[in-house]
Structure 1
């Protein structure tokens, strides 16, 4: 009875809140409509453009497409009148749209354009908003070091202009950043700083937002009393001021707190209140966390069917917006659900996804924790160094004043000292210049070594540990008696594919490692491309048959090149493997060659999904880490094409690609022909 009454109150209250937010939107829409109807109206008016930007901001979590459309319209009008302020605001709106959709690179691109558009205005308040948005996008993207650096720059500017609101926002963003790294103690320290700033501001909504985030951290720490106190206080404020997006978040955190207590009944109740509000929101990031919470609560109540429905929705949305932490969370729930149902194939697949994400996130978090610490220490060091230099400069000015008085008495002595100091300074500057040049050279060499090391460990950690961990997990299930021999044999094809993937990855990795360490020597000789292609067709035949892909070799016996047999074998194998990976079932792969005056132009053409223009620009880069799942979720290292480029160029050839989305790709490379001179040498 009490629960029904409480639900009725919340339903009525939620309806009133939605109506209030609609009234605010209606007010902005009315003002826009009114201005349009006025005689002599011109859309090229800064007040009208600001109304468009404000309405877009209001619709951000309700109608995201309207946010984009209004921001784009405002931007076009701003460009026409050359108004940098409204141009910057509209670009921030466009950036917010892409950030909410998980396209963080596009978001950062628009935020940077906003920064450039407002550069001449000297409006530090708007600049702060843009810099905070850029740092936030890096935060969501997972580049925590860049995010922290941006937030620290914001704090510096906000302190200079005494902008308490932005100081509160930025410090809270840093707190959330540490919370994402599970450094809860450091997060709470920043939240305490935020609470002090909020007290000076005197805005109870800001205070409630901070308390909501603190409640989430306290729940993760297991300090459930503090979590419940903070979330109850914030809910009261959000209900009072009708902050629907934050109220949805607060209800979710209250559900999360009950979930930590294993009180699944009340956890579901509060999650459902949040879900009801989310029906009127368009906030994929917040919805993903909510759906996983609902799934875990239903799992706790042993309602596996409902739990699976919510987990699958969370999995799909989190993958779409690249929210890896929530993808990992939902894949682990799905693993447990599939295991309970006896669907071991699906369970193993989800466990492998969970394990791969866990390894990646753990590695990234360890690396990012160190990077964040180094970045912060470097920032503090530079700040202290600058303060020390300023102090020295002030002391120096005082000394110059005293010296000026002293010069009147002993001008000749001072002149001799100054000349002597000039000679010493010149010598020191020369030494400093030489040492700086040497440091720059050493830094470049160290950066190259670190890049090679980072890529090596990334490939080993991401592409090798996942399949091996899955194999180990299966063996553990078999040894523990959770699956019998017959069930174990059902996994053999999947394990065979994983072993093939490991073997292929290791071959590429060893070849790439030799090239990076200058240990790969090119030994040219007469190579029959037709034979190499046939050998690789035989090698990859089983993989192609799985997808019913037909491979056609149009090369003839006269296709002879002067090149290194082993290196060109690696090139052909990688290109054919990629073609199989990105070609759907019943596709066609054709290998052909055209004879030119001094070389053979070889082509590997597929009927696959194609490659977009941006990816084509960087897939051959040495430091590129472009890796994509194939049409059947096949994995790759992101290493093969850069390795192909190195191998082809070592053999005096070139490599390039032509591709259109949904129309397949064609990779070309050239190799020297065998002429009479080479044949005699052979």
Structure 2
């Protein structure tokens, strides 16, 4: 985030006065005054001198962690923001700890602003938003106008990165208003900068250039020369988007010259990176690599591992584009190591994608596929832009709903008070006329109110129970989709994406067809089970029993799933005899299909499956069993095999399932007045069975 806050005194000297009772106190005050007389909190101090000042604090006899020390820490954190976000985080957390200890609220707010900035620089937008919002609440409670203005800018940057441009623009205008009213010249300039970024993201390039130019003029007039190069880079980027590369190059070179003249090494890194990007985009990858190398050398001296990693990845892409995949492989490995070391998820994901492309160019398709899958996995963990936007919008809607509910609650309380007051006046009036009538009416009204309240309470309790049930149902649905449906879909998507990008030949894709077909069958069964289970949870389903022959159902199910069994080398034997049952045909089909599918899933090559039936004359039940010689079920899982809490495990060929098939089977058997059960021994196989009422013989 390109803006932090530190406290800068109008005077350059900072003094601390402490009260002591002994003569040593006088000497101590004099020593502290001498040490702090050279401490300034202006932006001209570099990190080395600030570190020395902090060390002087700690080495002073009788030293205490007071407000001057906290200000020094916050300023030191500010000087790190553009190079080492992890250092910003560590120093700011230290400042926050000491601020809380001594009750220094302004120090708390400034430290929280710096922590939010560190989260932003590392791409942790949700964490940055939470910290900055908390800081905004504290700043507004204390009336810290300058800090509120800074937080408007910082939150505006977060909203821009998650795609809420209107919200970002509103905050930028609010920050501009605060800065203008209070004469905060630097904040005025920074808000014009932020508005320029919003205009650029919205496609208003002319307005973006005007805002950037206005911001640069204000910074220049205020003497903040070390920020001018960043605005020149922004203006150059806008000109490049307007298809004016010559003008864009002038601004990039101007930014580099300004940074060199000031000896601003972080600015030189940014300028060389911008020039490298420009050369790469305009078709000069060799010259671009030279600029990236310059940026890398300076960044390494600064200790800015994030910029070094970023430059390494860009050089790797250029090398790949110039037909040097082996050199690109070495470069991308170095960049990836740094990105993982500093735990920068965005750079890591970008590096893994470049690595996948390089491996594909080198002919190592298996490694390329593995890298691409890691890239997809990292994308899920980072959460894509649309999902982040939806989460933030949902949070905003939730907050708005809470405000409406609070207003409604207050309105209801006011109406309740008015009603009670009306009753009270009515009672007093009636007391003056007839006491007996008043008492009768009052008692009758109380009884009626109690009945109504009781009915309302019962309705509310019923609604709460239903909401709780639906909430649990929603959680189970999301758990199943996230755990069992997304995985095969991600695998299929990765394979198809790589085929579309030319990483597989048609012959190689043909070899993967069976695997794709199996995955699609799994997803189809997943969705069918999920829909049926969701329907059973949301509606009161009931069975529609009819007379039918069980053997026909078994034969059709075997013909449906036999290709899967043959593919795995499993023999399926049908030993069911004739038998008429009275049950819901579709529900029984689902039970038979789930039993046979599970038997195939947990059996391997050379195993066998036997489907048989028998009649229990005493209870007038037809029993159908599916016996396999597969992996079996652990003893501790058997008691819960038909519970909703049970989750499916991988099959012998890494097949997965929703774990809902057996739940549906149990529910359907109960609806048809049947029974269900399982017998299994791990390593020897399983026998699943169900029993249905026999159909009455027609008269």
TM-score normalized by the length of structure 1? 0.55
Structure 2 partner of 1:48: 69
User: CA–CA distance in 1 between the matches of 2:498 and 2:85?
Assistant: 44
Structure 1 partner of 2:648: 576
Matches within 5 A, 1:16-95: 24-43=46-65, 45-61=66-82, 64-95=85-116
Structure 2 partner of 1:111: 132
Q: 1:342 aligns with which of 363, 381, 387?
A: 363
Q: CA deviation at 1:274?
A: 0.7
Q: CA deviation at 1:366?
A: 11
1:168-211: per-residue Cα shift (whole Å, max 9, x none)?
A: 324434544565x5x5x325522321312332442443332111
- Is the 2:73–2:95 Cα contact (8 Å) retained in structure 1? yes
User: CA–CA distance in 2 between the matches of 1:222 and 1:488?
Assistant: 41
User: CA–CA distance in 2 between the matches of 1:640 and 1:192?
Assistant: 59
Q: CA deviation at 1:294?
A: 0.9
Cα 1:272–1:205 change in 2 (3 A) is same
Secondary structure of the residue aligned to 2:64 is coil
User: CA–CA distance in 1 between the matches of 2:603 and 2:335?
Assistant: 35
- Is the 1:335–1:346 Cα contact (8 Å) retained in structure 2? yes
User: CA–CA distance in 2 between the matches of 1:308 and 1:481?
Assistant: 17
- Is the 1:102–1:322 Cα contact (8 Å) retained in structure 2? no
Cα 1:200–1:28 change in 2 (3 A) is closer
User: CA–CA distance in 2 between the matches of 1:49 and 1:118?
Assistant: 17
1:343-401: per-residue Cα shift (whole Å, max 9, x none)?
A: 233444556677899999999469969x99xx9xxxxxxxxxxxxxxxxxxxxxxxxxx
Question: Is 2:235 the counterpart of 1:214?
Answer: yes
1:556-581: per-residue Cα shift (whole Å, max 9, x none)?
A: 5xx599xxx8xx56x53xx235xx69
User: CA–CA distance in 1 between the matches of 2:306 and 2:136?
Assistant: 25
Question: Is 2:636 the counterpart of 1:554?
Answer: yes
Q: 1:172 aligns with which of 193, 197, 204?
A: 193
Structure 1 partner of 2:438: none
- Is the 1:356–1:462 Cα contact (8 Å) retained in structure 2? no
Structure 2 partner of 1:259: 280
- Is the 1:178–1:187 Cα contact (8 Å) retained in structure 2? yes
Q: CA deviation at 1:75?
A: 1.8
User: CA–CA distance in 1 between the matches of 2:72 and 2:78?
Assistant: 10
Question: Is 2:223 the counterpart of 1:223?
Answer: no
Structure 2 partner of 1:310: 331
Question: Is 2:290 the counterpart of 1:290?
Answer: no
Cα 1:220–1:298 change in 2 (3 A) is farther
- Is the 2:192–2:215 Cα contact (8 Å) retained in structure 1? no
Structure 1 partner of 2:674: none
Q: Please report the RMSD computed on the Cα atoms of aligned residues, expressed in angstroms.
A: 5.4
Note the residue ranges of structure 2 that are not aligned, 5 or more in a row: 1-42, 397-469, 545-582, 605-630, 671-699
Matches within 5 A, 1:622-637: none
Cα 1:357–1:104 change in 2 (3 A) is closer
- Is the 2:153–2:172 Cα contact (8 Å) retained in structure 1? yes
Cα 1:363–1:100 change in 2 (3 A) is closer
Q: 1:189 aligns with which of 207, 232, 253?
A: 207
Structure 1 partner of 2:260: 239
User: CA–CA distance in 2 between the matches of 1:309 and 1:147?
Assistant: 41
- Is the 2:315–2:331 Cα contact (8 Å) retained in structure 1? yes
Note the residue ranges of structure 1 that are not aligned, 5 or more in a row: 1-20, 376-447, 544-548, 586-631, 652-682
Matches within 5 A, 1:142-161: 147=168, 150-161=171-182
Structure 2 partner of 1:495: 516
Q: CA deviation at 1:33?
A: 3.1
Structure 2 partner of 1:96: 117
Q: CA deviation at 1:165?
A: 2.6
Matches within 5 A, 1:575-594: 575-577=647-649
Matches within 5 A, 1:129-528: 129-140=150-161, 147=168, 150-176=171-197, 183=202, 185-187=203-205, 189-201=207-219, 202=221, 203-219=224-240, 222-281=243-302, 286-287=307-308, 289-312=310-333, 330=351, 332-349=353-370, 364=385, 467=491, 469-470=493-494, 472-473=496-497, 483=505, 485=507, 487-488=508-509, 490-492=511-513, 495=516, 498-499=519-520, 502-503=523-524, 506-507=527-528, 510=531, 514=535, 518=538, 521=541
Cα 1:83–1:295 change in 2 (3 A) is same
Secondary structure of the residue aligned to 2:634 is strand
1:504-525: per-residue Cα shift (whole Å, max 9, x none)?
A: 6634764587589x56748799
Question: Is 2:147 the counterpart of 1:126?
Answer: yes
- Is the 2:176–2:191 Cα contact (8 Å) retained in structure 1? yes
User: CA–CA distance in 1 between the matches of 2:343 and 2:58?
Assistant: 40
User: CA–CA distance in 2 between the matches of 1:206 and 1:635?
Assistant: 55
Secondary structure of the residue aligned to 2:98 is helix
User: CA–CA distance in 2 between the matches of 1:635 and 1:138?
Assistant: 39
Q: CA deviation at 1:286?
A: 4.3
- Is the 1:360–1:462 Cα contact (8 Å) retained in structure 2? no
1:13-37: per-residue Cα shift (whole Å, max 9, x none)?
A: xxxxxxxx99822322332333344
Cα 1:198–1:107 change in 2 (3 A) is same
Cα 1:475–1:107 change in 2 (3 A) is closer
Secondary structure of the residue aligned to 1:552 is coil
Deviates more, 1:337-346 or 1:214-223: 214-223
1:304-341: per-residue Cα shift (whole Å, max 9, x none)?
A: 12222334555677689897876675455444323322
Secondary structure of the residue aligned to 2:323 is coil
- Is the 1:194–1:210 Cα contact (8 Å) retained in structure 2? yes
1:508-558: per-residue Cα shift (whole Å, max 9, x none)?
A: 764587589x56748799x9xx99998786465489xxxxx99624355xx
TM-score normalized by the length of structure 2? 0.53
Q: CA deviation at 1:252?
A: 0.7
Q: CA deviation at 1:270?
A: 0.4
User: CA–CA distance in 2 between the matches of 1:141 and 1:550?
Assistant: 49
User: CA–CA distance in 2 between the matches of 1:560 and 1:32?
Assistant: 62
Cα 1:490–1:47 change in 2 (3 A) is same
- Is the 2:196–2:211 Cα contact (8 Å) retained in structure 1? no
Cα 1:38–1:221 change in 2 (3 A) is same
Deviates more, 1:353-362 or 1:305-314: 353-362
Give the count of matched residue pairs. Answer: 466
User: CA–CA distance in 1 between the matches of 2:238 and 2:140?
Assistant: 37
- Is the 1:248–1:277 Cα contact (8 Å) retained in structure 2? yes
Structure 2 partner of 1:11: none
Secondary structure of the residue aligned to 1:576 is coil
